[in-house]
Amino acid sequence: MSEGKPITCTAAVAYEAGKPLTVEEIVVDPPKAHEVRIKVEYTAVCHTDAYTLSGVDPEGAFPSILGHEGAGVVESVGEGVTNVKAGDHVIALYTAECKECKFCKSGKTNLCGSVRATQGKGVMPDGTSRFHNKKGEDLLHFMGCSTFSQYTVVADVSVVAIDPKAPLDKTCLLGCGVTTGYGAAVKTADVQKGDTVAIFGAGTVGLSVVQGAHVRGASKIIVVDINDQKKQWSLDFGATDFVNPSKGLKDGQTIVDKLVEMTDGGLDFTFDCTGNTDVMRSALEACHKGWGQSIIIGVAAAGKEISTRPFQLVTGRVWKGSAFGGIKGRSEMGGLVSDYMDGKLKVDEFITHRRGFTDINSAFEDLHHGDCLRTVLDLSK
Ligand SMILES: NC(=O)C1=CN([C@@H]2O[C@H](COP(=O)(O)OP(=O)(O)OC[C@H]3O[C@@H](n4cnc5c(N)ncnc54)[C@H](OP(=O)(O)O)[C@@H]3O)[C@@H](O)[C@H]2O)C=CC1
Ligand SMILES: N[C@@H](CCC(=O)N[C@@H](CSC=O)C(=O)NCC(=O)O)C(=O)O
Ligand SMILES: [Zn+2]
Ligand SMILES: [Zn+2]
């Protein structure tokens, strides 16, 4: 029985920005009150993990244990935990849901205020860490999840139990990329039948927006990506058109001109899934005058800002953002898992690579190759 005792296990530690992760033994403390210790079975690597490791995340701090797209089994719970129990299959939630704070009660957002401040500092709600290396140094938590460890500790508001029949090597992707893109289409934008949609960036997030727009019956789903390798995937997930702005434009034509021409004046909805602030501007300006909405999903580096002529907004275009697809993790994850189990939500199709956990640095390299959507890591290997 490991309950109540520290566990020694393998983790991938980010000691320094821009350096490979160090795979080593660490010690994971038992969960305190309102905390949950999870045996992480599978985790994928999201672009945001690479972004933070690269050093451009204003909240990035080291040494830390990254990873936020993970699923596993509850090993033990601290005092006062009622929403999950040992043995439950769970997904870690980087967007907590306490159901009690001003945000949760507002009915207007999925953002929750309960643990966000400490989460951003890389510590548990009591201000301390549950991770230590063999030298006895504290290691920081990340996004309230830290799934790049065989065992992790999260706040009880940052975890949801799921159907134990759902395969954890697939449902880990619901911890971020698939849920984020799909939710941005069906919840944040609330795309309706017949709407026209453009998605900039065909990674897992962008292709999940495509999936959501397709499920809603959008009439035109245009994917914009600088890599032609993304065309077939885009069509497979439901895109009607693919444009590569580095070669698919006429002389003097901008991507905005091209999209406006393709849609008789602009799109009902556009989505940035690149994190590039120039792309964000194009996405806004490709929206239809009077009502087009552009949803920012991509995460931009420290110091980057968005700009456009205010006239773009005066004339009815709307700039919005979306975190975790607007999905409330504890209330709504069960529905997404059911949709997946019923064949209504594609998840398996995003898994292009599988690796053992100790090969995690290669998984970060995979991200930079056009043939990779998600690499799933098996924490037992
Ligand atoms: N708001 C939220 O809740 C979340 C935000 N994110 C963020 O969303 C973004 C997408 O994540 P993810 O899908 O994992 O990332 P990926 O890197 O897999 O996907 C991004 C895609 O955008 C393409 N791209 C890059 N530059 C351009 C450009 N100028 N024009 C068109 N396409 C371009 C990339 O091509 P190439 O591969 O050739 O570079 C790639 O295909 C990231 O910024 C990530 O940090 C992720 C999850 C949640
Ligand atoms: N730390 C960054 C911002 C990072 C960010 O915007 N994260 C997204 C999720 S990205 C997942 O892969 C998010 O949900 N943001 C909302 C939040 O509360 O963090 C910075 O400081 O700029
Ligand atoms: Zn992510
Ligand atoms: Zn809350």
Residue 165 DSSP SS3: coil
The distance of Cα 294 from the centroid of its chain, to the nearest Å, equals: 18
- Tens place of pLDDT per residue across the chain (381 aa): 899 999 999 999 999 999 999 999 999 999 999 999 999 999 999 999 999 999 999 999 999 999 999 999 999 999 999 999 999 999 999 999 999 999 999 999 999 999 999 999 999 999 999 999 999 999 999 999 999 999 999 999 999 999 999 999 999 999 999 999 999 999 999 999 999 999 999 999 999 999 999 999 999 999 999 999 999 999 999 999 999 999 979 999 999 999 999 999 999 999 999 999 999 999 999 999 999 999 999 999 999 999 999 999 999 999 999 999 999 999 999 999 999 999 999 999 999 999 999 999 999 999 999 899 999 999 999
DSSP lists the bridge partners of residue 267 as 287
Distance CA 73, CA 99 (A): 23
**β-sheet with 7-13: strand ranges across:** 7-13, 22-28, 131-133, 138-139
pLDDT of 1 reads 85
Q: Are 53 and 16 in contact (CB under 8 A)?
A: no
Sequence length of the chain is 381
Distance CA 175, CA 69 (A): 5
Ligand 1 mutation target, pool 45, 48, 224, most atoms within 8 A of CB: 48
ipTM of the complex as predicted: 0.98
The distance of Cα 63 from the centroid of its chain, to the nearest Å, equals: 22
Q: Are 265 and 242 in contact (CB under 8 A)?
A: no
Q: Within 6 Å (CB) of ligand 1, which residues are found? A: 46-48, 51, 176-177, 180, 200-206, 224-227, 230, 273-276, 279, 297-299, 322-324, 370
Which residue's CA is the nearest one to ligand 2's atom 20? 58
Domains located in the chain, CATH noted: 7-175+346-378 (3.90.180.10), 181-322 (3.40.50.720)
Q: Which residues are catalytic?
A: 46-48, 68-69, 98, 101, 104, 112, 116, 176, 374
pLDDT of 248 reads 76
